[in-house]
């Protein structure tokens, strides 16, 4: 899975993400990417429609950051996920 982080200036907490197969868990809420329909029942932190490309899920998730976040947090690199478990995200409330 490749998670593209879309930074947004907000005071929300950084979401807790975990992966189990094609299921992305966001703050404890499972989202089955295989059955996800952005038009019918969008998750508030998922941007657009996840895509399965050559057997790898690609999904964009909002990443809130504080007012003085460094450039690296305002323009984060995509996160490559190779197995199940919790995903470490940058602490973005600087």
**Under 8 Å between Cβ of 64 and 10:** yes
Is residue 92 in a domain? no
Q: What is the pTM of this model?
A: 0.88
Number of domains in the chain: 1
Is residue 59 in a domain? yes
Q: 63 lies in which domain range?
A: 2-87
pLDDT digit string (tens) for the chain, length 94 residues = 999 999 999 998 889 999 999 999 999 999 999 999 888 888 999 999 999 999 999 999 999 998 988 887 888 999 999 999 999 887 654 4
Is residue 94 in a domain? no
């Amino acid at each position: 899975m490749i998670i593209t982080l879309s930074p947004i200036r907000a005071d929300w907490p950084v979401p807790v993400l975990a992966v189990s197969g094609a299921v992305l868990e966001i703050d404890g809420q499972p989202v089955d990417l295989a059955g996800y329909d952005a038009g019918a029942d969008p998750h508030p932190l998922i941007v657009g429609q996840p895509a399965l490309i050559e057997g790898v899920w690609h999904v964009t998730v909002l990443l809130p950051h504080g007012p003085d976040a460094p450039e690296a947090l305002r323009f984060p690199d995509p996160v490559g996920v190779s197995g199940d478990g919790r995903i470490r995200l940058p602490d973005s409330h600087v």
